[in-house]
Amino acid sequence: MELPPLFIDRMRIQLDAEYSEFEESMSTPSPTSVRHHPFKSASTIEPQQGIPWCTTGAYLTERPVFTLDPLYHAGCYYVQEASSMILESFFKMLPPSSSPRTLLDLCAAPGGKATHLLSMMGPEDILVANEIHPNRHGILFENLTRWGNPQVLTARCSPEQLASAHPERFDIILVDAPCSGEGMFRKDPVAIRQWDMDLVSQCANRQENILQEVMQLLRPGGHIIYSTCTYNREENEDQMERLIRQTGCEEIRPDMHSDWGIQPSDRGFRCYPHRLQGEGLYMCMIQKPMDHTTHYAGNVRGNGNRHLGNPAKPPEMVHEYVQGDRFNWFLGRQDQWRAMPGNVLESAGDLIHSALDIQSGVIVGKRKTPTVFIPDHALALSRICHTDIPKFELAKEDALRFLKKETIPTSDPDSGIRLITYNGFGLGWAKVVPGRLNNLIPHHWRIRMSISE
């Protein structure tokens, strides 16, 4: 691997005697790791080694073809870089709350840290997962749909829009800031080619602006968890030091076991590939002073909540697909029904009805005829899907054929809608007709890879 000469010079100064070990680690393969869903805890991936700083994390001895594992499509695990999972140590330092908390993942795509937050937060807490870039927002939405937690809202807003519309609204804000990507050099040759000091300066300026907006968004006494996947101080410690100096924030430091290899810094903690099985990462947590209030002077601009639809009472057949009865129901375009847990509307009504582009509720499905209801793919993956729904379990080969949107033959004499499962976990829906399963997987969710690959 040919690293930029100026990067090498800077890292030699930064790491001193450790640089040779760092340089050697950059030529070794990146470890493969996953984080299991706490409510879908099943996997066919073996063997595994636990990640010490994440209770649901695991290293794999080799990288499988995840696309060809039905449990990946069922949302049973998330493929995530191990260093990023130190988020758990920071989250455990947050004080308990007697009331529901509202969390914001400001730069949430592709969804690794957002799904991790959903796994750790309380049952009444709400997460707003935000990503302003349309393509990346689409990837985020798919990963959150696969994770299946109804306590999440997805947003496509700039930090300025959010701060203008909802100042001091959030209790915890995760800022996984856009950065120069030095910590990804081992995995991403493009990051090496793009790197120079102009990029570092541009990223540092952008991060400073983002953090100024974040301070507007954070309630007094709230917490910011800041992270990057880069090594330089300009984008890491210097950002935290400036914010602490300007605002009076206090750093909160979790206990990191010395044998984990996570290196404490003067502000926050660092992960280096020669010290642990993971890529480069920086993370720090600070708390906003209780007496620090801000008043945002911007203008609220947004596209309006065009996703939710109007409150309405659903037909009885819809209730058969949803577990529980404490839901708010909304009827949107094309007769599409959405269900929202009652506590979500109670805690986040201002966000849900915001003028901004914020999407909420689980898409349950739509009524095709007065007697036929077609459930949505999102419901098959959601934790609100009724456990007594008629199911059709498939072996792995047929499950992959189903995920490719192929027709599956069957001798089942009964007709009707079935939840297709693998190892008991939902993959999607099919309609049983004589001799076959009519596949209801949406086209954009289907596997496009050959099963033999």
Q: Is the dihedral of CA 393, 397, 399, 402 positive or negative?
A: negative
Copy the structure tokens of residue 172. 């915890």
pLDDT at 307: 74
- 332 and 446 together in one domain: no
10-residue averages of pLDDT along the chain (453 residues): 95 98 96 95 74 96 94 97 98 94 98 98 97 96 97 97 96 98 96 97 98 97 98 98 97 96 98 98 97 59 64 92 92 91 94 92 92 95 96 96 94 89 97 93 91 58
Burial of 48-82, coded b for 16+ CB within 10 Å and e otherwise, reads: eeebbbbebbbbbeeebeeebbbbbbbbbbbebbb
**Three-state secondary structure readout of 198-255:** HHHHHHHHHHHHHHHHHHHHEEEEEEEEEEECCCCHHHCHHHHHHHHHHHCCEEECCC
Q: Which residues contact 258 (CB under 8 A, 6 or more apart)?
A: none
- 371 and 395 together in one domain: no
| C-alpha pair distances (Å), 237 with each of 11, 285, 307 | 15, 11, 40
Q: pTM of the prediction?
A: 0.95
- 308 and 249 together in one domain: no
| C-alpha pair distances (Å), 340 with each of 146, 293, 314, 429 | 17, 32, 13, 21
- 306 and 452 together in one domain: no
Sole residue written with tokens 């409150």: 311
Sole residue written with tokens 């009519």: 438
Instruction: Tell whether 293 is covered by a domain.
Output: no
Q: What is the CATH number of the domain that holds 399?
A: 2.30.130.60
Instruction: Tell whether 98 is covered by a domain.
Output: yes
Show which of 375, 403, 436 is a domain's final residue: 375
Query: What is the C-alpha to C-alpha distance for residues 385 and 374, in angstroms, rounded to an integer?
Result: 13
Instruction: Tell whether 103 is covered by a domain.
Output: yes
Instruction: Tell whether 32 is covered by a domain.
Output: yes
Instruction: Tell whether 395 is covered by a domain.
Output: yes
Instruction: Tell whether 341 is covered by a domain.
Output: yes
- 85 and 108 together in one domain: yes
Instruction: Tell whether 297 is covered by a domain.
Output: no
- 371 and 397 together in one domain: no
Q: Which residues contact 140 (CB under 8 A, 6 or more apart)?
A: 108, 109, 110, 111, 114, 129, 131, 154
pLDDT at 308: 83
- 247 and 363 together in one domain: no
pLDDT at 24: 97
- 357 and 451 together in one domain: no
Instruction: Tell whether 26 is covered by a domain.
Output: yes
Number of domains, the chain:
3
Q: What is the CATH number of the domain that holds 228?
A: 3.40.50.150
pLDDT at 1: 78
Question: Helix, strand, coil: what percent of the chain each, to 5?
Answer: 35, 25, 40
As a whole number, the mean pLDDT across the chain is 93
Closest C-alpha among 121, 120, 118, 119 to residue 129? 118
- 254 and 323 together in one domain: no
- 334 and 420 together in one domain: no
- 338 and 273 together in one domain: no
pLDDT at 412: 80
Structural domain span for residue 431: 390-453
Show which of 228, 259, 287 is a domain's final residue: 287
Show which of 235, 259, 287 is a domain's final residue: 287
- 246 and 335 together in one domain: no
